[in-house]
């Protein structure tokens, strides 16, 4: 550790010695930079879209992955809550907005839903959307909500196939049991 010694003389014969570790601010700065780098690597490694919603204005900042996971360029969609709602599958919208509202009013610790969003190719993409109010007004109203969106279409397809196989297997077992 690098120490900086500061001698302060105070009459009539009192001497103060101040020792300051000059590495602490530099270490904190490096740590902050490393944390930012880790965060960006984690977001990219999980292929997650990131969103930061200003609840009072409705504006949302999306990272590029939020758009590209759906096949869009960042300039093709508005950066507000309406753009997200307009992409949502009609069969999912009521449930998703209800769960979001429960979180916004403080009934749940996080908001998390699986729902479909319309990709640029016209196909519905399943997403895992997770968020949290990170700043509230004194009266409890949300100010800022931050979250991630991960595309899970393949997982949902596998779940559907597994359910179909289970149904077929149950039918075969029932048929076989009746024969015996």
Give the burial class of 144: count Cβ atoms within 10 A of its Cβ; 0-12 exposed, 13-18 middle, 19 or more buried.
Answer: middle
Residue 127, SS3?
A: strand
**What span, in angstroms and rounded, lies between the C-alpha atoms of 157 and 152?**
9
CA quadruple 72, 133, 55, 112: dihedral, nearest 10 = 40
Q: What are phi and psi of 118, to 5 degrees?
A: -80, 120
Across residues 25-37, what is the average pLDDT? 72
Quick check: 36 pLDDT over 90?
no
**Nearest Cα to Cα of residue 124 among 76, 157, 94, 95:** 157
**Nearest Cα to Cα of residue 115 among 151, 141, 144, 142:** 151
Please give the DSSP secondary-structure letter assigned to residue 169: H
Per-residue model confidence as pLDDT tens digits over 64-92: 999 999 999 999 999 999 999 999 999 99
Per-residue model confidence as pLDDT tens digits over 51-62: 999 999 999 999
Per-residue model confidence as pLDDT tens digits over 134-161: 999 999 999 999 999 999 989 888 877 8
């Amino acid at each position: 550790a690098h120490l900086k010694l500061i001698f302060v003389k105070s009459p009539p014969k009192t001497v103060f010695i101040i020792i300051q570790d000059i590495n602490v601010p530099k270490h904190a700065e490096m740590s902050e930079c490393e944390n930012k780098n880790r965060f960006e690597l984690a977001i990219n490694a999980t292929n997650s879209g990131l969103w930061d919603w200003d609840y009072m204005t409705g504006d949302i900042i999306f990272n590029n992955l939020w758009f590209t996971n759906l096949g869009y360029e960042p300039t093709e969609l508005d950066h507000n809550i309406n753009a997200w709602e307009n992409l949502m599958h009609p069969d999912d919208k009521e449930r998703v907005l209800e769960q979001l509202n429960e979180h916004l009013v403080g009934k749940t610790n996080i908001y998390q839903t699986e729902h479909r969003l319309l990709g640029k190719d016209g196909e519905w993409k399943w997403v895992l959307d997770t968020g949290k109010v990170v700043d509230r007004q004194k009266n409890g109203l949300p100010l800022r909500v931050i979250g991630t969106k991960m595309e899970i279409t393949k997982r949902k397809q596998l779940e559907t196939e597994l359910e179909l196989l289970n149904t077929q297997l149950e039918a075969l077992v029932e048929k076989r049991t009746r024969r015996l």
